[in-house]
C-alpha cells in the first residue's frame, strides 16, 4: 500500500483545489508546501499596521448564488463559498492615459458601452457591434469549452471556430478605429500577459466577458482568507498538509510515479502526483530530464516563460478619498500603444503601464481605521533583473519604484506624501516566494495560436498531473478551476483501480 493515494506539490490556487477535491472524494492526500502559509500568489503579508494583499486585484467568474459563475461552482463543491465573504466591485476599471483619456467602465455591459460611446461618439456603431460580437462569441465558447458539447463543429459554433485563434488586435481593428478606444476596451490584455497583437481573441474575450457577466470581486481578509478556507476544507476532509516542506525529488519507475522525497529526505510512496510547481521544476529538477519522455521535453522547450510583476505594496495614513481615489481598479498608462508598453516590460527603463488597486474603496474595513492600502503594479520580464549586479539591486529596485510612483502621481498627485509603509517586490521576489522560473505569475506565454486550451494537464509519465497557471491560463479563476479538474481526473482513475 502506498503511503498516500496522491501527493500534491504546492498549495497555490491549483494545488489547494486539487488537494481539497481529492480529499473530499475520499482519497488519502498529502499536500506539501514550501512556504509557511497556503495560497502561493493568493496570500498576504504584514508590514507595520497593514496586512498587504499580494496578488488579487479582481476575482473573475464568481457570479452570484442565484447566477453562479464557474468559480462559484468550484467553491460550492468544496463547501467553502459560504465561508468566504466576497465583496463586489462596482466598476470594471478606470483607465487613464494622462492628457489623452480618462474613462470609467462600470461592471455592466450597457453602462460600459455608454461610457465608451460618450467618449468616442463617432464610433458608436463599432462599439455596439464589438460588444455584440464579444457576447455572441463567448456564448459559443461556453458551449465548446465548458459544456464540452460532443457535437461541437464549425457549423454549430461558427464564430468560435472562426475567431478563437485570431489575434485580438485584428478584431479590434475591424470594429474600433481610434487607438485610445482600442486601449480602453482591451486593457485586460494585461491580465493575460500579452498585448492584443499577440493574444488570442478567445483568451481576451473570455476574460472581459467573465468580468462583465459575473462581475469583479474581492474578498474580506484578502485572497489569504480564501486560501485558508480551502486549506481548512482539505484538512476537514481528512487531508494532511506539511508547510515549510519542499518536494525535492520525484522517483519514477518504468514510466510510473513511485514516490516523492521531501527536503528533509522523507520518502513518501504514491502512485499519483499533482504538481502546482510548474512543469520546468517538476520535470527537470525533481524528476530529472533523463527520466522524462523526449516528446514532453521538446514541447516544454518550445514554451516561453511569461511575465512576472513589479509590485509596490503601499500603506497610506489617510482614507482613499483624501488622495482622490474613488475607484478600486485604476489602469494608468503613459501610452495607448500596447505593443510599446509590452516591449518596455523587457527593460528597466520605467513602465508605460500600471495598475493601482485600492482595496478600501469597496471595502472600507480592509485597512485599519483612517488608513488604506493600494498595490501599484506593472508587469516585467525577469530577464533584465537577472543581469543587475547584486550590489546595484537595491538601488535599481528603488529607482524603478520611484518611476512607477511618478506615473501613478500623474493621476493621484498626493500618494507619495501619504505613504506610511512601502514594500516593493521585483520579479526576483516573486521567483523566490513561488519558485517559478522567471518569477512568472501567469505561467508560460500563450501566443495567438498556442492558447491555453492546448496545454496538456497530464504528463506522459503515468500518475503525473499538473495544475495551476503553467497548466493553462494564469489568474485566480483558471487556476482554481484547474485544480478541481485535476482532482476529478485522478478520482476517476483511482476509482477504476
Ligand X SMILES: Cc1cc2nc3c(=O)[nH]c(=O)nc-3n(C[C@H](O)[C@H](O)[C@H](O)COP(=O)(O)OP(=O)(O)OC[C@H]3O[C@@H](n4cnc5c(N)ncnc54)[C@H](O)[C@@H]3O)c2cc1C
Q: Which stretch binds ligand X (CB under 6 A): 9-17, 117-125, 198-206, 330-338?
A: 9-17
Which C-beta is closer to ligand X: that of 130 or that of 470? 470
Q: Is 427 in the site for ligand X (CB under 6 A)?
A: no
List the one residue from 4, 6, 12, 22 that touches ligand X (CB under 6 A).
Answer: 12
Q: Is 126 in the site for ligand X (CB under 6 A)?
A: no
Q: Is 441 in the site for ligand X (CB under 6 A)?
A: yes
Angle between helix 168-175 and helix 179-186 axes, rounded to 10 deg: 130
Q: Is 41 in the site for ligand X (CB under 6 A)?
A: yes
Residues in 307-336 at the binding interface with ligand X, rule: CB under 6 A = 309, 311
- Cβ of residue 379: shortest distance to ligand X, in angstroms? 9
Taking residue 89's Cβ as centre, other Cβ atoms within 10 Å add up to 24
- Cβ of residue 487: shortest distance to ligand X, in angstroms? 13
Q: Which stretch binds ligand X (CB under 6 A): 181-189, 194-202, 415-423, 434-442?
A: 434-442
Q: At 88, is the secondary structure helix, strand, or coil?
A: strand
- Cβ of residue 284: shortest distance to ligand X, in angstroms? 12
Q: At 453, is the secondary structure helix, strand, or coil?
A: helix
- Cβ of residue 214: shortest distance to ligand X, in angstroms? 12
What CA–CA distance (Å, rounded) separates 27 from 261?
20
List the one residue from 93, 189, 217, 442 that touches ligand X (CB under 6 A).
Answer: 442
Q: Which stretch binds ligand X (CB under 6 A): 26-34, 44-52, 266-274, 458-466?
A: 26-34
Q: Is 239 in the site for ligand X (CB under 6 A)?
A: no
Q: Is 259 exposed, middle or buried (0-12, 13-18, 19+ CB in 10 A)?
A: buried
For residue 372, list its beta bridge partners: 316
List the one residue from 7, 10, 181, 233 that touches ligand X (CB under 6 A).
Answer: 10
Which C-beta is closer to ligand X: that of 166 or that of 248? 248
Residues 436/439/444/448 CA torsion (nearest 10 deg): 170
- Cβ of residue 296: shortest distance to ligand X, in angstroms? 19
DSSP string, 58-86: -B-S-EETTEE-HHHHHHHHTT-GGGS-E
Q: Is 276 in the site for ligand X (CB under 6 A)?
A: yes
Taking residue 101's Cβ as centre, other Cβ atoms within 10 Å add up to 17
Residues in 365-404 at the binding interface with ligand X, rule: CB under 6 A = 377
What CA–CA distance (Å, rounded) separates 257 from 280?
17
What CA–CA distance (Å, rounded) separates 78 from 477?
15
Q: Is 279 in the site for ligand X (CB under 6 A)?
A: no
Q: Which stretch binds ligand X (CB under 6 A): 53-61, 66-74, 316-324, 378-386?
A: 53-61
Question: Is 366 in contact with 359 (CB distance < 8 Å)?
Answer: yes
Site size for ligand X, by CB under 6 A?
39
List the one residue from 20, 32, 411, 455 that touches ligand X (CB under 6 A).
Answer: 32
Q: Which stretch binds ligand X (CB under 6 A): 40-48, 135-143, 149-157, 384-392?
A: 40-48
- Cβ of residue 266: shortest distance to ligand X, in angstroms? 13
Which C-beta is closer to ligand X: that of 58 or that of 168? 58
Q: Which stretch binds ligand X (CB under 6 A): 27-35, 75-83, 113-121, 380-388?
A: 27-35
Q: What is the DSSP letter of 167?
A: B
DSSP string, 12-29: BHHHHHHHHHHHHTT--E
Q: Is 27 in the site for ligand X (CB under 6 A)?
A: no
Q: Which stretch binds ligand X (CB under 6 A): 82-90, 163-171, 435-443, 456-464?
A: 435-443
For residue 261, list its beta bridge partners: 249, 267
Distances from the Cα of 302 to the Cαs of 88, 202, 227, 262, in angstroms? 39, 21, 32, 29
Q: Which stretch binds ligand X (CB under 6 A): 39-47, 95-103, 156-164, 364-372?
A: 39-47
Residues 58/59/61/62 CA torsion (nearest 10 deg): -130
What CA–CA distance (Å, rounded) separates 55 from 78?
22
- What is the distance between the terminal CA atoms of the chain, rounded to a whole angstrom? 13
Binding site for ligand X (CB under 6 A): 9-15, 32-35, 40-42, 55-58, 246-247, 276-277, 281, 309, 311, 377, 430, 434-436, 441-442, 468-469, 474-477, 479
Amino acid at each position: 500500500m502506498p503511503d498516500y493515494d496522491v501527493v500534491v506539490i504546492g498549495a497555490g490556487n491549483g494545488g489547494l483545489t486539487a488537494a481539497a477535491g481529492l480529499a473530499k472524494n475520499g482519497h488519502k492526500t498529502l499536500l506539501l508546501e514550501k512556504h509557511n502559509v497556503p495560497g502561493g500568489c493568493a496570500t498576504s503579508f504584514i508590514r507595520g499596521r497593514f496586512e498587504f494583499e499580494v496578488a488579487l486585484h479582481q476575482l473573475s467568474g464568481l457570479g452570484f448564488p442565484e447566477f453562479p459563475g464557474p468559480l462559484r461552482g468550484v467553491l460550492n463543491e468544496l463547501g467553502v463559498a459560504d465561508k468566504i465573504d466576497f465583496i463586489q466591485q462596482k466598476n470594471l476599471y478606470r483607465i487613464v492615459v494622462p492628457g489623452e483619456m480618462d474613462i470609467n467602465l462600470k461592471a455592466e455591459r450597457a453602462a460600459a458601452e455608454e461610457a465608451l460611446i460618450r467618449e468616442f461618439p463617432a464610433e458608436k456603431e463599432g462599439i455596439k457591434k464589438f460588444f455584440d460580437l464579444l457576447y455572441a462569441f463567448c456564448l459559443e465558447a461556453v458551449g465548446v469549452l465548458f459544456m464540452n458539447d460532443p457535437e461541437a463543429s464549425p457549423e454549430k459554433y461558427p464564430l468560435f471556430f472562426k475567431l478563437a485563434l485570431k489575434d485580438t488586435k485584428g478584431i479590434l481593428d475591424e470594429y474600433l478605429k481610434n487607438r485610445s478606444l482600442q486601449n480602453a476596451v482591451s486593457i485586460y490584455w494585461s491580465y493575460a500577459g500579452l498585448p492584443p497583437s499577440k493574444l488570442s481573441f478567445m483568451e481576451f474575450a473570455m476574460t472581459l466577458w467573465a468580468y462583465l457577466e459575473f462581475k469583479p470581486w474581492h474578498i474580506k481578509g484578502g485572497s489569504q482568507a480564501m486560501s485558508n478556507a480551502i486549506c481548512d476544507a482539505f484538512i476537514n476532509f481528512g487531508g494532511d498538509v506539511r508547510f515549510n516542506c519542499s518536494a525535492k525529488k520525484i522517483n519514477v519507475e518504468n514510466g510510473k510515479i513511485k514516490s516523492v522525497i521531501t527536503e528533509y529526505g522523507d520518502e513518501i510512496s504514491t502512485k499519483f502526483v499533482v504538481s502546482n510547481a510548474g512543469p520546468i521544476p517538476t520535470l527537470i529538477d525533481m524528476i530529472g530530464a533523463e527520466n522524462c519522455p523526449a516528446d514532453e521535453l521538446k514541447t516544454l522547450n518550445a514554451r516561453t516563460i511569461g511575465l512576472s510583476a513589479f509590485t509596490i505594496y503601499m500603506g497610506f495614513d489617510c482614507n482613499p478619498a483624501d488622495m482622490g481615489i474613488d475607484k478600486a481598479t485604476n489602469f494608468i498608462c503613459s501610452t495607448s500603444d500596447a505593443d510599446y508598453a509590452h516591449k518596455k516590460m523587457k527593460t528597466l527603463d520605467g513602465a508605460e503601464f500600471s495598475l493601482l488597486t485600492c482595496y478600501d474603496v469597496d471595502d472600507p474595513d480592509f485597512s485599519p481605521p483612517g488608513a488604506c492600502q493600494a498595490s501599484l503594479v506593472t508587469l516585467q520580464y525577469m530577464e533584465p533583473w537577472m543581469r543587475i549586479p547584486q550590489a546595484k539591486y537595491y538601488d535599481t529596485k528603488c529607482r524603478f519604484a520611484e518611476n512607477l510612483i511618478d506615473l501613478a502621481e500623474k493621476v493621484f498627485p498626493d500618494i507619495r506624501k501619504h505613504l506610511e509603509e512601502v514594500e516593493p517586490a521585483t520579479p526576483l521576489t516573486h521567483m523566490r516566494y513561488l519558485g517559478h522560473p522567471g518569477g512568472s505569475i501567469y505561467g508560460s506565454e500563450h501566443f495567438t495560436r498556442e492558447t491555453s486550451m492546448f496545454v496538456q494537464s497530464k504528463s506522459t509519465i503515468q500518475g503525473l498531473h499538473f495544475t495551476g497557471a503553467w497548466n493553462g491560463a494564469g489568474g485566480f479563476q483558471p487556476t482554481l478551476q484547474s485544480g478541481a479538474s485535476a482532482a476529478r481526473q485522478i478520482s476517476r482513475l483511482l476509482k477504476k483501480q
